[in-house]
Amino acid sequence: MSSALQALAVIGVVLLIPYLYRFYNFVWLYFVRPSSAHEYLHAAPAYALITGATDGIGKALAKELYDQGFSLILHGRNEEKMRKVVDGIRGNGARDVLYFLADASRADHDFERMMAPFMDLNITVVVHNVGNSDFTKERIDAFSKADLMGIANRNAIFPLHLTHTLLPRLRLSAKTGPVVVQFMGSMAGEISPPRFAIYSASKSFLKALTRALDNDERVWGTPTGVHFEYLLTGQVQSNSMRLATSLVTPASETYAKAIVARMGCGWRAYCPYWIHAAQKWFMDIVGEGVQDKYSAVAIADLVALHEKKN
């Protein structure tokens, strides 16, 4: 009997090891590990390129990285809004704040020409933040083909082409220190909620792209020093997610600080914000059935909230 109990105890310990290791990593990443953002400030001036920087997370991240010592290359669609962001940041220092304009929903950009003014700059951080999808009650067949392609373009194709164009420049920057490219992911890519089919698929595309590109630069031949990260993002208060801030729904400024704090942590896919990491762990436990029912209710509530505020 004692031998059986001992065997069960051993099995229990073995089964607990992955969870203990995961808990250790959680505590280390969110509460112990110091930020390594300064490691990307090499061969000054170091530039951070941020897409979708006129509102929300992108705007907050631009301010945070500028305060950390980076010069900036910002992307937006609206000139007036972009100028306000640029002027606001420039008032806090003497470093460069450059920008370019492009509608990420379109597929006809000349990316080489668009990036030509910046290809001689020391770009060490790229954050592909641009992307969203409207809250709607409609199923996919109610969208026009142009609407469908617009969602796919701004969430997946625009970041893909921009990365393709920037890679030669990033490899040059990596000769003097590490370079990181971050794709803004979403929990939607993990749980595929109703009414967000194209958005969710686009984020899953970015997650697979992150791993493949990181392998290209890290394990195929001589490592180049360019690394890729996928940022799993839950609810964050912004113009597109008009919710009250809470522990579960941080302000864009809080989330931007979390991104910078985790930057270069060594993980390819992770949640920058610790509450979102806890939510992800819980979702993994409950399984797809509970995820699907919860997400349907959550999306219905968000659609109703946005319709009311509109």
- Span 243-257, average pLDDT: 94
What is the rounded distance in angstroms from the CA atom of residue 247 to the CA atom of residue 250?
Answer: 6
3-state secondary structure of 224: coil
pLDDT band, residue 62 (cuts 50/70/90): very high
Domain boundaries, the chain: 35-309
Instruction: Compute the distance between CA of residue 135 and CA of residue 242 in angstroms, rounded to an integer.
Output: 11
Whether 184 and 231 have beta carbons less than 8 Å apart is answered as yes
Helix spans in the chain (H): 2-27, 56-67, 79-90, 111-115, 145-152, 158-173, 188-191, 197-218, 252-262, 274-309
pLDDT per residue as tens digits for the range 200-234: 999 999 999 999 999 999 998 899 999 999 999 99
Fold exhibited by the domain 35-309: Rossmann fold (3.40.50)
Specify the pLDDT at position 118: 98
Q: pLDDT value at position 309? A: 65
Instruction: Kindly tell me if the per-residue pLDDT of 242 is higher than 80.
Output: no
Phi/psi region, residue 52 (left: phi>0; alpha: psi -120 to 50; beta: rest), is left
Residue 113: what pLDDT? 97
Q: Are strands 226-231 and 97-101 parallel, antiparallel or unpaired?
A: unpaired
Instruction: Report pTM.
Output: 0.92
